[in-house]
Amino acid sequence: AQSVTQPDIHITVSEGASLELRCNYSYGATPYLFWYVQSPGQGLQLLLKYFSGDTLVQGIKGFEAEFKRSQSSFNLRKPSVHWSDAAEYFCAVYGGATNKLIFGTGTLLAVQP
Amino acid sequence: DAMVIQNPRYQVTQFGKPVTLSCSQTLNHNVMYWYQQKSSQAPKLLFHYYDKDFNNEADTPDNFQSRRPNTSFCFLDIRSPGLGDAAMYLCATSTTQGTEAFFGQGTRLTVV
């Protein structure tokens, strides 16, 4: 069965500091991986995705993520966080055999001045 | 322009009174998803359609039903809402297997 683990429930960083949000997945084949961001009361916006090819993917708003098959990870990074990045971040995995898009439990990011 | 539209944005219903949430898309995507998201939790997949093929999650309560009369529209019916069904309900679409899912703004359901 496919699953996603985001070990950090809540993270606080200072504005301008770097950020890394962790994501580990479980899936028997090559997964399709996504990071979404959600602001309070809003729907989900796609930040970036990995299907195949280059394991370092660039997304919107200055985010990037690296797929590491050996570690079953797809961590999200940003070199310098802005106050507007405060939101909840969800990692998700799509399984071609199941047609399902499954989300991790999310990481709530707070940005302090 | 909004591509996945959910109506209404906010819905208040009485305990036990049937309620229907709607989702429409202008993307002509063949896959549509319904998720339930409770406060501070991840979206939980309730069911999805691949074209007209309906796929129910094993742990989705029987109280939840869905209809997809055509490619553009999908409905979530809650036959007898309980207090525990209060949540944000998210609709999403995607083209074919594995591609990006586009989400609507969600419907916030309150049960009184």
A90 in contact with chain B, both atoms CB, cutoff 8 A: yes
Would you call B42 and A43 a contact, using CB atoms and an 8 Å cutoff?
Answer: no
For residue A31, what pLDDT band results from cuts at 50, 70 and 90? Answer: confident
A51 in contact with chain B, both atoms CB, cutoff 8 A: yes
Q: Which residue is it, tokens 């996504």?
A: A34
Q: Is the model's pLDDT at A65 over the cut of 90?
A: yes
In chain B, which residues have their Cβ closer than 8 Å to the Cβ of A102?
45
What span, in angstroms and rounded, lies between the C-alpha atoms of B8 and B84? 20
Average pLDDT over residues A84-91: 96
Q: What is the pLDDT of residue A15?
A: 97
B96 in contact with chain A, both atoms CB, cutoff 8 A: no
pLDDT digits (tens, 9 = 90+) for B28-50: 998 999 999 998 888 999 999 98
Give the chain A residue whose CA is nearest to the CA of B93. Answer: A101
Higher-confidence residue of A28 and B11: namely B11
Q: Is the model's pLDDT at B103 over the cut of 70?
A: yes
Would you call B43 and A99 a contact, using CB atoms and an 8 Å cutoff?
Answer: no
Q: What is the DSSP string of A69-94?
A: GGGTEEEEEESS--GGG-EEEEEEEE
B39 in contact with chain A, both atoms CB, cutoff 8 A: no
Q: What is the pLDDT of residue B95?
A: 81
Q: What is the pLDDT of residue B78?
A: 97
Q: Compute the mean pLDDT over every residue in chain A, rounded to the nearest whole number.
A: 92
Q: What is the pLDDT of residue A42?
A: 81
Would you call B98 and A32 a contact, using CB atoms and an 8 Å cutoff?
Answer: yes
Instruction: Compare CB distances from B42 to A46, A49, A105 and report the shortest one's residue.
Output: A105
Q: Do A83 and A68 contact (CB within 8 A), yes or no?
A: no
B28 in contact with chain A, both atoms CB, cutoff 8 A: no
Q: What is the DSSP string of B24-78?
A: EESS--SEEEEEEE-TTS--EEEEEEETTEEEE-TTS-TTEEEE-SSSSEEEEEE
In chain B, which residues have their Cβ closer than 8 Å to the Cβ of A49?
100
| Beta strand B19-25 pairing with B64-67 | unpaired
For residue A62, what pLDDT band results from cuts at 50, 70 and 90? Answer: very high
Average pLDDT over residues B71-83: 96
For residue B24, what pLDDT band results from cuts at 50, 70 and 90? Answer: very high
Q: Is the model's pLDDT at B98 over the cut of 90?
A: no
Average pLDDT over residues A76-98: 91
